[in-house]
Amino acid sequence: MEQHIEKNRGWEECCKMCWKSDQLDSLGWAAIFIWGALVLLAGVTNFATNLSWWDGWAVFFTGAGVIVLVKATLRLLIREQRRLWVGNLICGLILVGFGLGDQINWGWVLPVVLVTIGLIILQRTFSRRS
């Protein structure tokens, strides 16, 4: 019984430590939720009715992708935050591609996003230290 309590306490401490240590991730999620709320408010208040290019979902996904790309850039620049920057970069590219796909043309956006992701994966594969 005591071992079970010790294991659970260790897990809780680990989760708290991870949550506190990754403030950049927390800030990114907060920014995405705030961005989503602003996009919803723009639709509800008819702010976007005069904008011919406005599509709420496309604007949301593009903005969320930009937020994740900024987070990836910050992770790359800050040595302590360098883990997971490639995953953030790939996720950001997918979100931006998804958001811009209808605005530009999926025929061009999707191949560019996929080639970029493939090149990032290749670069990471061959630059790893043994």
Tell me the two tokens of residue 57.
């979902």
**53-89 residue pLDDT tens:** 788 888 899 999 999 999 999 988 888 777 778 888 8
Segments forming the whole domain that contains residue 69:
25-127
pTM of the entire predicted model: 0.70
CA gap 32, 7 in Å, rounded: 34
Residue 6 resides in a domain: no
Give residue for tokens 């071992």: 3
**37-46 own/partner pairs: CB under 8 Å, 24+ apart:** 39/63
Residue 99 resides in a domain: yes
Contact call for residues 99 and 61 (beta carbons, < 8 A): yes
Residue 31 resides in a domain: yes
Total structural domains within the chain: 1
128 secondary structure, DSSP code: -
**86-125 residue pLDDT tens:** 888 888 988 988 888 777 777 777 788 889 889 988 888 8
Residue 60 resides in a domain: yes
- Interacting residues of 96 by C-beta distance below 8 A, sequence separation 6+: 61, 62, 65, 66, 69, 113
Residue 13 resides in a domain: no
Residue 14 resides in a domain: no
